[in-house]
């Protein structure tokens, strides 16, 4: 089947060469072969913004190719468990996935750079790193070992710090805290003395209600509201210092990608970029209303104390040094990512943050209404 | 010609219906007609990031359609003067443009909402407003009068405040200042007592050198450095409070747009989204180095004093009330835009700004290097 697909698309090189010329190409059927692919999403349909990015991605691919290139999306668990999407793409069980690198740090923590790391870059800075800072090339090497190409396809923006049953006043309060938090953020929390818990979305509510866990992080107001955490935990902390600009990714099986005509590769990249913009802007548009409603229903909104943020920042740096010492791939990406982050934040402190800060002050003074 | 094109694409309705079905469409030549269009850019090639967004936009359209839909880009002045792109699209002189609504406030100041206004939204907030807040629909009505559809295609991020020959310490210092600043920002500066000047890019340097003007704003470090303003004005102010997230736009003649197959319309939208992401991330990636170099060469980086920002903010609100009083279109958009901005900034103050602020503090404490 794969061999036949290869043969069917093997004549595409000529088509691609025509693309580069300035003369209109004659209509060659092979330049737009009929393909029916499947995409496994790591997200449930209930997370309509995250799942929606995959849905839009596949929809745009169909639209742009007159439905010659059809990709059918399957929600988490429908054909592939949500956290095994990379495996399924690697093995060719599905041609495509929509997922997040950070779900696969058990394979290699380096994959987290494709999403974000605690105290990483914000959404715009992450995109700058991916497009212009070397991120795309470095992560391309890493994903190659998993027979996959990863293309940015979504970002949530800075997330919230989650729902807590008791107040967090000092780093001491993090000690012994049974906190539903996954991945590298969980490893940082462990350094602070917390007991990180990995619990699937649907199981968080009862665990938090019963007191099996003391706190749980999810996404932000729009998604959190749906799960009703506000009914069982009074304190809603911010910011989610472990997810300042987490990116989600479209995965494509590397052989399948290489067999595609250049035109379809371009369609995929543009569809992903458009789906990303729609997803991030939807969170930015929907979160304010959800947060208002949560607060009207009694949620107490609190910032993490600076001392807790500082302790988490130091623990993160320690962790990155430890991982770098034993993982040369992680070290290689980290040593590119870290100075890029530094430069980005230096620059953002100038025009972007001072503009945003002034507007925030006007907001605090009720001058924007 | 237009009639013939219409006839050629009139059979497309059927193709579009097939797109909506789940069965692969048979290869219908008309669903991907061969088109050769022209795009007039408002930007010179020397502004490689701004001009580049139009260039990428046209490149992606070609790539995705196997070069069946070819759009040739022309730089500012090549076939259309830079500030007459909307007219050229309206008249059908060119099918497409890459420009900014704010250039056409002489026709209607409402068009500025398609770019940004002084103390407007940042790049992400503007995108949220366009996609989910009603911006697209409201601006669609406005552009309809100009026989044009406008699609977001680029953003510079927050710009700098420009180059000044003398320090600005109080709002008094803005009085009498001959300041190269255009559009609505110029009207705000006039309220502060400045004398706004409209000077084309290439003529700014000699005017500032001779002292014909006292100050000039352009874009940000990456573009400003090329024009060499640092050699003739020592003070580089931030932020550009009049351009916190200015969006550039792809224009398409409305008849031509309506004649397009749905697939090509989708191609255009995705190409624009991808070009936008690439443009914004390029500025974010290139500005830090340029700013470092400017500062190494002696530029004095200064924030606008809070009192000047406050005076400009108040003058902006006054101006918007005045325009609203006599322009019902402006009023209609403003009354949607203003509460959306308020909600966005309220929300951004929570997760996004506190994350960014913490990282900015770490940067200031030299803890990111």
Tell me whether residue B143 is in a domain.
yes
What are B271's two structure tokens? 């190409």
What is the C-alpha separation between A249 and A258, in angstroms, rounded?
18
- Interface residue A284 vs chain B (CB under 8 A): yes
Residue of B130, B266, B348 lying closest to A60 (CB–CB): B266
Between the alpha carbon of residue A54 and those of residues A49, A84, A197, B349, the distances in Å are 9, 16, 27, 29
pLDDT in the model for residue A22: 39
Which residues in chain B have Cβ-Cβ distances shorter than 8 Å to A358?
119, 239, 241, 306, 309, 313
- Contact yes or no for A358 and B32 at CB 8 A: no
Which residues in chain B have Cβ-Cβ distances shorter than 8 Å to A13?
none
Which residues in chain B have Cβ-Cβ distances shorter than 8 Å to A128?
281-282, 284-285
Tell me whether residue A357 is in a domain.
no
Residue of A240, A313, A362 lying closest to B351 (CB–CB): A240
Indicate which of A12, A27, A264, A270 best probes the interface with B, i.e. most B CBs within 10 Å of its own CB. Answer: A270
- Contact yes or no for A128 and B285 at CB 8 A: yes
Indicate which of B17, B128, B275 best probes the interface with A, i.e. most A CBs within 10 Å of its own CB. Answer: B128
Helix (H) or strand (E) holding A151: strand A148-155
pLDDT in the model for residue B30: 66
pLDDT less than 70: residues of chain A: 1-30
Q: What is the 3-state secondary structure (H, E, C) of A196-263?
A: EECCCHHHHHHHHHHCCCCEECCCCHHHHHHHCHHHCCCEEEECCCCCCCCEEEEEEEHHHHHHCCHH
- Contact yes or no for B358 and A67 at CB 8 A: no
Work out the burial of residue A11: count CB atoms within 10 Å of its CB; fewer than 13 is exposed, 13-18 middle, 19 or more buried. Answer: middle
Domain that holds residue B280: 3-155+244-284
pLDDT in the model for residue A30: 66
Tell me whether residue B66 is in a domain.
yes
pLDDT in the model for residue A202: 82
Cβ neighbour number for residue B369 with a 10 Å cutoff = 11
B239 preceded by cis ω (within 30°)? Answer: yes
A180 is in an annotated binding site: yes
pLDDT in the model for residue B266: 98
CA angle B225, B226, B229 (to 5 degrees): 55
What is the C-alpha separation between B258 and B140, in angstroms, rounded?
13
The conformational region for residue A16 under phi > 0 = left, psi -120 to 50 = alpha, else beta, is alpha
- For residue B60, list its beta bridge partners: none
Provide the chain B residues 226-265 that lie in CB contact (below 8 A) with chain A: 238-241, 244, 261-263
Which residues in chain A have Cβ-Cβ distances shorter than 8 Å to B64?
64, 263, 266-267, 270
Between the alpha carbon of residue A361 and those of residues A345, B58, B121, B224, B337, the distances in Å are 20, 41, 14, 29, 19
Which residues in chain A have Cβ-Cβ distances shorter than 8 Å to B349?
360, 363-364
Which residues in chain A have Cβ-Cβ distances shorter than 8 Å to B346?
288, 363
Cβ neighbour number for residue B23 with a 10 Å cutoff = 8
pLDDT in the model for residue B234: 97
Tell me whether residue A118 is in a domain.
yes
Are the C-beta atoms of residues B151 and B275 closer than 8 Å to each other? no
Residue of A271, A273, A363 lying closest to B346 (CB–CB): A363
Closest CA to A241 of A138, A175, A315, A298: A315
- Contact yes or no for B63 and A262 at CB 8 A: yes
Q: Domain with A104 in it: what CATH number? A: 3.40.190.170
The ipTM (two decimal places) reads: 0.91
B217 is in an annotated binding site: yes
Work out the burial of residue B253: count CB atoms within 10 Å of its CB; fewer than 13 is exposed, 13-18 middle, 19 or more buried. Answer: buried
A217 is in an annotated binding site: yes
Helical residues (DSSP H) of chain B, grouped into ranges: 2-9, 12-20, 48-64, 85-91, 123-132, 135-144, 183-191, 201-210, 221-227, 254-259, 262-296, 306-326, 328-348, 351-364
Number of H helices, E strands in chain B: 14, 11
Cβ neighbour number for residue B24 with a 10 Å cutoff = 17
Number of domains in chain A: 1
- Write phi, then psi, for B240 (nearest 5 degrees): -75, 90
pLDDT in the model for residue B7: 31
Task: State the pairing for strand pair B235-238/B35-41.
Answer: unpaired
Tell me whether residue B93 is in a domain.
yes
A78 is in an annotated binding site: no
What is the C-alpha separation between A242 and A43, in angstroms, rounded?
19
- Interface residue A288 vs chain B (CB under 8 A): yes
Are the C-beta atoms of residues B110 and B327 closer than 8 Å to each other? yes
**A226 CA to chain B: closest CA distance, Å?**
18
Are the C-beta atoms of residues B285 and A133 closer than 8 Å to each other? yes
Between the alpha carbon of residue B131 and those of residues A81, A278, A292, B128, the distances in Å are 32, 7, 21, 5
- Interface residue B268 vs chain A (CB under 8 A): no
Tell me whether residue A123 is in a domain.
yes
First to last CA, chain A: 61
**B170 CA to chain A: closest CA distance, Å?**
17
pLDDT less than 70: residues of chain B: 1-30
Residue of A127, A266, A301 lying closest to B277 (CB–CB): A127
Tell me whether residue B48 is in a domain.
yes
- Contact yes or no for B344 and A271 at CB 8 A: no
**B349 CA to chain A: closest CA distance, Å?**
6
Tell me whether residue A109 is in a domain.
yes
Rg (CA), chain B: 22
- Interface residue A66 vs chain B (CB under 8 A): yes
């Amino acid at each position: 089947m794969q061999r036949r697909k290869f043969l069917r698309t093997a004549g595409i090189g000529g088509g691609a060469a025509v693309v580069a010329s300035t003369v209109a190409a004659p209509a060659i059927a092979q330049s737009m072969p009929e393909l029916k692919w499947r995409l496994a999403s790591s997200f449930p349909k209930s997370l309509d913004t995250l799942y929606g990015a995959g849905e839009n991605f596949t929809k745009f691919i169909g639209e742009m190719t007159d439905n010659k290139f059809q990709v059918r999306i399957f929600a988490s668990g429908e054909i592939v468990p949500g956290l095994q999407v990379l495996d399924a793409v690697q093995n060719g069980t599905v041609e495509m996935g929509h997922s997040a690198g950070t779900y696969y740090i058990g394979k290699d923590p380096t994959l987290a750079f494709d999403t974000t790391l605690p105290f990483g870059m914000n959404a715009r800075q992450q995109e700058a790193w991916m497009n212009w800072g070397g991120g795309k090339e470095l992560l391309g090497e890493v994903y190659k070992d998993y027979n996959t190409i990863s293309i940015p396809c979504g970002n949530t923006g800075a997330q919230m710090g989650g729902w807590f049953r008791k107040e967090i006043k000092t780093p001491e309060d993090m000690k012994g805290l049974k906190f539903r938090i996954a991945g590298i953020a969980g490893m940082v929390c462990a350094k602070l003395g917390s007991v990180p818990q990995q619990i699937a979305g649907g199981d968080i509510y009862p665990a938090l209600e019963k007191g099996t866990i003391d706190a749980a992080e999810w996404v932000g107001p729009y998604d959190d509201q749906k799960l009703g955490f506000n009914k069982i935990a009074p304190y809603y902390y911010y910011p989610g210092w472990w997810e300042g600009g987490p990116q989600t990714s479209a995965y494509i099986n590397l052989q399948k990608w290489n067999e595609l005509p250049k035109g379809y590769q371009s369609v995929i990249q543009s569809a992903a970029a458009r789906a990303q913009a729609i997803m991030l802007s939807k969170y930015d548009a929907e979160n304010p209303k959800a947060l208002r409603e949560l607060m009207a229903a009694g949620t107490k909104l609190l910032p993490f104390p600076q001392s807790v943020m500082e302790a988490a920042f130091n623990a993160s740096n320690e962790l990155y040094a430890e991982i770098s010492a034993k993982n040369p791939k992680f070290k290689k990406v980290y040593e590119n990512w870290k100075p890029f982050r530094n430069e980005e934040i230096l620059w953002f402190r100038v025009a972007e943050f001072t503009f945003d800060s002034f507007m925030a002050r006007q907001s605090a003074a009720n001058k924007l209404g």
